Every structure is written in structure tokens, then in C-alpha cells.
Amino acid sequence: MSAGPARRAVFLDRDGVLNRAIIRGGRPHPPSTPGELSILPGVPAALARLKAAGFWLVVVTNQPDVARGTQTLAGVEALHDILRTQLPLDDFRVCYHDAPVGCECRKPAPGLLLAAARAAHLDLGASFMVGDRWRDVAAGQRAGCQSIFIDYGYAEPQPHAPYLRAHSLHEAADLILTEPHPVAR
């Protein structure tokens, strides 16, 4: 029995894409508690448009604060439970490792995207990765997706081309839903 045609997906970083990142020293940080979690304007509508167009919506997020001992697994899951109830998301894939571990799931490695693609029969070549940091763009590129960089002007390295640039998930959804798709630069 055939699994049917592969689905298109939009892989979404969490902090800075779905919810407001907490900026310290020009760099983004995750919210620590449900009280700090704030869904960004336009996100519910952008996700609804993508879902209506048939995209599988997968959150792919690095949460190294668990390995560092400054956040708990339960704390991260509490934030995800809120996002699950308020947004039309299909899956969450999380790397809890810190950078020195060298795992295959921590972005910029593509492991989270590849695992989601295997589990949900996703066509990576017809899918998109949306993130606000160079690691997100690189993970999408390595997985074979078209990457969209939401540029907030953080004080950190910029991604390497090719990628599309947006300033919000709303703008990223516009790019994704444009036929034919714009050419990445």
C-alpha cells in the first residue's frame, strides 16, 4: 500500500518566528515562563493561510537552556502546550542539546527537519524553512528546503545565500504562497 504523495511543509523556528524573542545585548533569547510567552502579531493568520494552502506546519527549535540547566524540559513543554492550543501546528521537533555535543538535531544541522520529513512523509524539496537566525537558514538549506530569513537586525552573523528575506511570518507566508516562488538570493 502506497503512502501517497509527499506533503509540502513549512518548518518554523519558534522564538522570533512564532513568539516574541527576548532581546538582550542585541541577541534573541527564549521566554522562560508562560507569562513571558507572547505570540507575534499576524502569526495566527499567517499560519491559517499556510494551513489552508495544504502545508504541514512543523516547529523546529533549539532549546539548549535545558542542557545548560537554566530551563527545564517541563518548562519548554509548557510553552509548547500554549502554542499548540493557540496555533494550528502539526508537529514540534526540539533539540535540547548544547552546542558542544555535536548532535545531528541541533540547527544548523538538518536532523530535526529530516526526522519530521521521515515521520510525516514530507517533500523537503517542496518545503520551506522560516527562521530568524543564520542557524535556521542553514538547517533548511542542508535539508534541501527553500529558506526564508526573518531579519530583525540581530547583532550576530547573517545567513549565507541562497535564501529569501522577510520581516515577519506574515511576509514569509506571502513569499511561500506566491506562485511561482521567488528566486532565493
Specify the pTM: 0.94
Residue 54 has a pLDDT of 96
- Per residue of the chain (185 residues), what is the pLDDT tens digit? 446 678 999 999 999 999 999 999 999 999 999 999 999 999 999 999 999 999 999 999 999 888 888 899 899 999 999 999 999 999 999 999 998 778 999 999 999 999 999 999 999 999 999 999 999 999 999 999 999 999 999 999 999 999 999 999 999 999 999 977 666 66
| pLDDT, tens only, 126-156 | 999 999 999 999 999 999 999 999 999 999 9
- Asked about 13 being catalytic, the answer comes back as yes
Fold annotation for 9-176: Rossmann fold (3.40.50)
- Asked about 15 being catalytic, the answer comes back as yes
User: Could you tell me which of 9, 12, 8 has the C-alpha nearest to residue 150?
Assistant: 12
CA distances from 141 to 49, 59, 138 (A): 24, 16, 5
- Please pick, among 15, 65, 98, 123, the residue that the annotation labels catalytic: 15
- Please pick, among 13, 81, 98, 174, the residue that the annotation labels catalytic: 13
